[in-house]
Amino acid sequence: MNLVTAFAASAQEHAEKAALFWGDSEYSYGAFLGQASLLAGRLRQDFQVQPGDRVGVWLKNCPEFVSALFGVLGAGAVVVPINNFLKSQEVEYILRDANIRVLITERSLLEAAPDLAAAAPQLRFIQIDEFARADAPAAAALGCDRAASDLAVIIYTSGTTGRPKGAMLSHGNLLHNVDSCRQVLEAVSFDRFVVLLPMFHSFMLCVGILLPLLVGGSIVLIRSLHPPKNVLQEIIQHKATILPAIPQLFRALAGAQAPPDLPLRLCISGAAPLPREIQKEFSEKFSVTLLEGYGLSEASPVVTINPIHGPWKVGSIGTPIPNVEVSVQNDAGEHLPDGQIGEICVRGGNVMQGYWNRSEETAQALRQGWLLTGDVGYRDTEGYYYITDRKKDMLLVNGINVYPREIEEVIYQFPGVKEAAVVGVPDPRKGEQPLAFAVANDGAPLDEKALLQFVRGKLADYKVPRKVVVLPSLPRNATGKILKTVLRQMQA
C-alpha cells in the first residue's frame, strides 16, 4: 500500500464525484486521476524521472496542486512542496539541497525562472497549466511500486541554524497520519473539507488534501480569504463540513456576520497556539465545535487534538490521536510524571524518517524512537497535554515557522551592521511578528528603511521584521550570549 494506490482506489470508486470545488468549477475524482497519470507518464518519458528522484512543486493554491502531488508520486518520485511565498534565493537553496532537477510551477511564479535556472543549470520546468485540464482522460492506470517505507514527501521546515531542513516523510508515515485523523475526526465520504491555508503546508497536505481524497470526500478550495464573509459564503455554497485553519482565521471569522445556516460540523485549529479569547469569541458567534490540536511537520504532522465529543479543555492541545504516543521527558530521556514540565516527545508510525542529508540534526531530533519536538509542556492527570513554551527560539507568523537566526544572518549582510538579534512580539492578526534589534559599526549611521528594504529583497514578506530598533549595544550574559529575554522585556 502506498499513497498512489490508496488514491487510485478511492478515485476509481468515486470517479464521477466532485473531488474538489473551486469557485463555480468542479473537478471530479476521474479528472484528477487522468491529470495525475498524464503527468506521471510525462515525468517518466520526457524528463527521465526515476523512482526516488526529487521533484519540486512550487504552486500557489490551485486545483492542479492535487494533480501535481499524485502525478509526481505516480512516477515513483518524491514530492518537495515549496512555499510559494519564498523569494528566488530561498527557493534556490531548496533546489540545491534536495538536488531537484524538475520543478512544477505556474505562470505567475515563472518570473523567477531565469534566476533559478542560473543557479541550477540542470533544472527543467513544467508549467502546470500546460497539461492540467479538468477533462484530461486517464492516459494509463495510475500506480507505482513504492513500498510504505519508501520516501514520499520532503517538507522543508526552517531550522535553528538559519537554513531550512527537509523532513523526510514516507508513504507509510502519511498514510498512518491520515488514518489516525480519519478515526479521530470521524471523517467519512460525505465530508467536505475547507482548504484555505497554503497547500504546501504539512497541515493542509495531510488534513486538507490526503484525508478527504482517501476517504472519498471532497475539498472546498477557497479562492480568496478577503473579506472573511466570502469564505463563509463559499462554505455555505459548497456545504462544507470540516474547517481546519489557524487561530488568526478563526478570529477573522468571529468578527464577520454570522450566517444562520452554516453547514460546518467541526473546526480544527492548528499550526499555532489557540488563544483562549479567540476560542471564546468564535464559540459565542457560531454553534460549531472548535477544537485545538497540535502537530509538527516531522510528525506528518498531527499529534494531538481535543476529543470531538469532549470533554474539551481550553488551553490544552488535547490527547494523542489513535496509534500515536506522546510523552513528557527531561533532557536525559526520562519520562516525567503528570504536572511536571519537560519536552513534548512523540512516537508512532507518523514520525519522520529523519532530515534529508542531515545525519547530525536527525540524531538530535530522534532519541530511542522518540521525536523530540522542541516544545515544552506537561500532561495533566486526565491525559491532556499543554504547551507552555518553546524550547527552540522560534516564531509562529500566521502559523508558519520563522526562525530568528535566518533573519539575523540576512541583517548581518547589510553594510554598517555590527550586531543583530531578532525576537518575536505578539501580533493580534498574525500571532507573532519578528522584531529586529541592530547595533551599528562604530560611528556608522543605520538607515532603518534601507535595512528593511534589503531584508525584504532576500526573505519572504512574512519573515521581514516589523521594525528595526537601533541600540548602542546588545545585552549579553557573562559568556557573551545575547539575552533575548531582556530584548523582549525592553520591547514590552
Q: Read off the pLDDT of residues 276-312 as tens digits, 9 standing for 90 and up.
A: 788 888 988 898 999 999 999 999 999 999 999 999 9
Residue 242, domain member (yes or no)? yes
442 and 381 belong to one structural domain: no
Q: Which cell numbers in the block locate residue 341?
A: 514540565
Q: Which cell numbers in the block locate residue 332?
A: 536525559
Residue 390, domain member (yes or no)? no
CATH number of the CATH domain containing 415: 3.30.300.30
DSSP state at residue 208: I
Beta bridge pairs of residue 21? 26, 220
CATH number of the CATH domain containing 254: 3.40.50.12780
64 and 87 belong to one structural domain: yes
Q: How many CB atoms lie within 10 A of CB 228?
A: 17
> How many domains are contained in the chain?
2
Instruction: Judge whether residue 133 has pLDDT over 90.
Output: no
403 and 379 belong to one structural domain: no
220 and 363 belong to one structural domain: yes
Percent of the chain with pLDDT over 70: 95
374 and 407 belong to one structural domain: no
Residues 6+ apart with CB under 8 A from 474: 419, 421, 437, 439, 482, 483, 487
Identity of the highest mean pLDDT range in 47-61, 102-116, 141-155, 472-486: 47-61
Region of 93 please: left (phi>0), alpha (psi -120 to 50) or beta.
Answer: alpha
Region of 94 please: left (phi>0), alpha (psi -120 to 50) or beta.
Answer: alpha
Distance, in Å, from the CA atom of 199 to the CA atom of 203, rounded to the nearest integer, reads 8
378 and 400 belong to one structural domain: no
Instruction: Judge whether residue 116 has pLDDT over 70.
Output: yes
Return the pLDDT at 160.
42
pTM of the model: 0.86
pLDDT band at 134 (very low <50, low <70, confident <90, very high): very low
Residues 6+ apart with CB under 8 A from 424: 394, 395, 396, 402, 404, 432, 433, 434, 435, 488
**Least confident residue range of 1-5, 415-419, 446-450, 461-465:** 415-419
Long-range contacts at 43-49 (CB < 8 A, ≥ 24 apart): 43/71, 43/72, 43/75, 43/77, 43/102, 43/126, 44/75, 44/76, 47/101, 47/102, 47/124, 47/126, 49/75, 49/76, 49/77, 49/101, 49/102
Average of pLDDT values for 16-32? Answer: 96
Residue 134, domain member (yes or no)? yes
Instruction: Judge whether residue 467 has pLDDT over 60.
Output: yes
381 and 400 belong to one structural domain: no
pLDDT band at 136 (very low <50, low <70, confident <90, very high): low
Q: Which cell numbers in the block locate residue 104?
A: 512544477
pLDDT band at 135 (very low <50, low <70, confident <90, very high): low
Query: Which residues span the domain enclosing 416?
Result: 395-491
Return the pLDDT at 137.
56
Radius of gyration of the chain (CA): 23
> How would DSSP label each residue in 108-172?
GGGGGHHHHHHH-TT-EEEEGGGT--TT----S-------TTSEEEEEEE--TTSS-EEEEEEHH
Average of pLDDT values for 313-327? Answer: 96
273 and 405 belong to one structural domain: no
Mean pLDDT of all residues belonging to the chain: 91
Q: Read off the pLDDT of residues 338-370 as tens digits, 9 standing for 90 and up.
A: 999 999 999 999 999 999 999 999 999 999 999
403 and 457 belong to one structural domain: yes
Q: Read off the pLDDT of residues 378-414 as tens digits, 9 standing for 90 and up.
A: 999 999 999 886 666 778 898 887 878 789 889 988 9
Q: Degrees (nearest 5) of the Cα angle 115, 117, 118?
A: 65
Instruction: Judge whether residue 69 has pLDDT over 90.
Output: yes
Q: Read off the pLDDT of residues 180-197 as tens digits, 9 standing for 90 and up.
A: 999 999 999 999 999 999
465 and 348 belong to one structural domain: no
Domain boundary at 321, 350, 385, which?
385
259 and 129 belong to one structural domain: yes
Domain boundary at 385, 408, 443, which?
385
Domain boundary at 360, 385, 410, which?
385
Distance, in Å, from the CA atom of 308 to the CA atom of 319, rounded to the nearest integer, reads 11
Q: State phi, psi for 250 to the nearest 5 degrees.
A: -65, -35
278 and 254 belong to one structural domain: yes
Instruction: Determine the residue type at 229.
Output: K
Burial of 482 (0-12, 13-18, 19+ CB in 10 A): middle
Cell 468571529, residue located: 254
Distance, in Å, from the CA atom of 145 to the CA atom of 124, rounded to the nearest integer, reads 25
Return the pLDDT at 390.
67
Q: How many CB atoms lie within 10 A of CB 182?
A: 20
Cβ-contact 180, 324 below 8 angstroms: yes
Residue 66, domain member (yes or no)? yes
Average of pLDDT values for 437-453? Answer: 90
